[in-house]
Chains A and B, each alone.
Chain A
Amino acid sequence: DVKVTQSSRYLVKRTGEKVFLECVQDMDHENMFWYRQDPGLGLRLIYFSYDVKMKEKGDIPEGYSVSREKKERFSLILESASTNQTSMYLCASSPAENLAKNIQYFGAGTRLSVL
């Protein structure tokens, strides 16, 4: 059973703080993704990684960075949090050999509030 674990369910931060959102998967998946989920906007891809130390920008990378030092861990970093980054953040992973069927497995999400 695939398990994608996000370190926090809820976070409250102040404007300007540096924020780290952590995601760990236990299925040895090559690919990992960070999305933000906002009402009426669906799931929007922020960044993804297809290998250790590799990263690619998604559709809304501005204001975010990522780190993938180990295969199982993918971190999302808000260098200087702003109120418009208040959102639900979802991490996902998928195996590389599944290219023909890009099944993604999601974490439970982190609801971030920036005050």
Chain B
Amino acid sequence: GENVEQHPSTLSVQEGDSAVIKCTYSDSASNYFPWYKQELGKRPQLIIDIRSNVGEKKDQRIAVTLNKTAKHFSLHITETQPEDSAVYFCAASNADSSYKLIFGSGTRLLVRP
């Protein structure tokens, strides 16, 4: 089955700097890759996703890139702000055949003011 690895487990950046979180997946049939953000004490919420037919997607300060050949995808946050501090989870899915998401282990991002 699918396995998703996520790095780093913790990341501390200065406000205004960029943050990058990386994930690798094992199943070449996976074609849908969402990212969820979980603020302290709150529920995970989808912040951005990408399908395998595109290599990059942007939404204001966040972007996701996908390298199908290497089977890895990354979340990029530019001009980080204290409110970006949260745990971020990547996930992978074969959205043609399954409703299941396989999650990575999470990255705790701390943005220092």
- Closest residue of chain B to A94 (Cβ to Cβ) is B99
| B25 CB–A CB distance under 8 Å | no
What's the count of A-B pairs with C-beta under 8 Å? 64
Given contacts A40-B105, A102-B93, A103-B34, are A108 and B42 in contact (CB under 8 A)? yes
Q: Which residues of A contact B32 (CB under 8 A)?
A: 100-102
A101-B32, A107-B43 given; A48·B99 CB < 8 A: yes
Interface residue total, chain B, C-beta cutoff 8 A: 26
Q: Is the CB of B89 within 8 A of A42?
A: yes
In chain A between 85 and 115, which residues have their CB closer than 8 angstroms to a CB of chain B?
90, 94, 96, 99-104, 106-109
Enumerate chain A interface residues (CB-CB to B < 8 A): 4, 31, 33, 35, 40-45, 48, 50, 58-59, 90, 94, 96, 99-104, 106-109
Please give the residue numbers on chain B whose beta carbons come within 8 Å of chain A beta carbons, in ascending order.
1, 6, 9, 32, 34, 36, 42-46, 49, 51, 89, 93, 95-96, 98-106
